[in-house]
Chains A and B, each alone.
Chain A
């Protein structure tokens, strides 16, 4: 069973404790200046956005079928069975295809380092593996961010929408987006207002490229045989023509 996070924006009070917990867990600097930054970056993996009295968290969605892991040529990004999408900096060669491919624009880069790493929320894989919650869920004082089994959290989210008519937008963001994500969101205002795309497909993105790539094993031998065949025909034709020519020639002599 895979784990997930459910963030309910209506329970959030904007205290940014999740940002603090995240920075501590990932050994990132955190002070007032960082707290004021409203964008995810190589040194800030989660952000609480504020719009009048509404809040919204942004973090890596840890997709069920992540585009970033599928495009990484060296397999530095991996979707673990437990849910987190992890990163191995030792493998990464810095092509940044993950950044270009991510539909949520999550992976960030250490542009000013000479050995830059890709940085993003990796859903505390060590904590999750040892049966603990993620740092952000553990520290959250109101339960706005809740850690649990993905299936159970989906049921709970549906129940909250059902039991509080009019309170929520009737949509669990991340339930079906790009094939589903390990971060689920509930909100009382449309998700687009906080920069979440509403036009994402419900199909996993990796299929789009794999559909093409899967033809390669057939194409290589077929192409080879076809080109070899054409070569044989064009050169055989020439040999025959030459042989006939010399034959005619000899015939003429006799």
Chain B
């Protein structure tokens, strides 16, 4: 068998090689030698991007499972699997990134037995653990179907709804708690980003990014795998996205006004430029695009708006965790190449795993081995009966 060397395979191998070298440095020399972190700036890109953005980008998982399984919006069913796959991969990669960032990664299990319920980080630790488990279970039917393991499949399907409910609750807690992390530093975080509403902002923006990521992925996989685009579904997601963004924008600016910092938004400076970059990418441009019916209905317009929203809220998370913390820290932080290499390798791994999964597992509708449960429900068959049929 001849392996074809493509451009993307080369890029992937290059990123993995750099990542591997950086990994060796990180675990043989310690954080000081392998990062630009310091006593003034203890949290860098591994927290900002790999954890804060990683969790946010995985938000499609709970948004879509809630829409399909709880709100019973069947039209969206065909894109649940790729979204759950993304969420699951996202969380696994977040856990991997944490192993790099923690000073003593082998103590990562400590929150299991050493509890401090007053700590937001304790809540975050539990949410990551539990939600990764929930996502693994939500994802498991795809693997079980592939290998035709009917017995465990029955068990997972029987508890699917409680699982989805757990997933939505854990995600709500987790997405918002990443914002709550910063509530304890009112004097340290720049007023553009410090707000008592941080948990609310993190949660609403996670929903927006969840929707945008779903549009982005569907478009990408349509192009890459030569599948037909589920355009009507994406148009619907685009409409909801516009509403979520509008709600977020109103809250965001009302909050700035109430805290009396609107005047800062016109005072030139480092923070101001990055604030407006965030606003332009995450709110202004996508809202302008999505408010035009012609653009909202076109695949290209939707794709562009989705990409802008994702980039915009990545900027937001970086602003909260890096830009907004720099002036109080009295230092500028820019990641060392090792930090970028690890992050790059983790992203590359995400893409590669997604590609492998779509190749070997029934992720997309036409490759389904068996009919999904809720399609059978349309005929109002009792769940128990479905499960018996599932074994046929």
Contact = CB atoms under 8 A, between A and B. Distances in A.
A238 B103 CA distance: 52
B199 A212 contact: yes
- Dominant SS among interface residues on chain B: helix
B92 to A, nearest CB: 19
A227 B165 contact: yes
Nearest to B108: A93
Size bracket of the A interface? 35 or more
B185 A103 contact: yes
A216 B116 CA distance: 14
Interface in B147-170: 161, 165-166, 168-169
A96 B42 contact: yes
A212 B177 CA distance: 9
Interface string B87-104: 000000000000001111
Contacts of B169: 219-220, 223-224, 227
Interface string B8-44: 0000000000000000000111111100011110110
Contacts of A73: 110-111, 114, 116, 119, 121-122, 124-125
A35 interface: no
Contacts of B108: 93
B378 interface: yes
A72 B103 CA distance: 14
A113 B125 contact: no
A208 B184 contact: yes
B186 A208 contact: yes
Given A73-B119, A91-B114, A93-B104, A111 B380 contact: no
B167 to A, nearest CB: 10
B107 interface: yes
B73 to A, nearest CB: 9
Contacts of A200: 187
A6 B120 CA distance: 33
Contacts of A109: 31, 39, 42, 103
Contacts of A72: 116, 119, 121
Interface in A238-253: 238-239, 242-243, 246
B294 to A, nearest CB: 33
B372 to A, nearest CB: 15
Interface in A73-90: 73-76
B368 interface: no
Contacts of B28: 114
Contact of A101 (B104, B116, B161, B185): B185
A216 B111 CA distance: 18
A234 interface: yes
Contact of A231 (B110, B125, B161, B180): B161
A112 interface: yes
A165 B31 CA distance: 50
A70 B37 contact: no
B172 interface: yes
B183 interface: yes
Nearest to B37: A111
Interface in A164-195: none
Interface of B: 27-33, 37-40, 42-43, 66, 69-72, 101-105, 107-108, 110-111, 114-125, 161, 165-166, 168-169, 172-173, 176-177, 180-181, 183-188, 196, 199, 325, 329, 377-380
Interface of A: 41-42, 67, 70-76, 91-97, 99-101, 103, 105, 108-109, 111-116, 197, 199-201, 205-206, 208-210, 212-213, 216, 219-220, 223-224, 227-228, 230-231, 234-235, 237-239, 242-243, 246
Q: Which 4 residue pairs of A and B lie closest in terms of their CB atoms, listed nearest first?
A: A94-B103, A111-B32, A234-B72, A93-B107
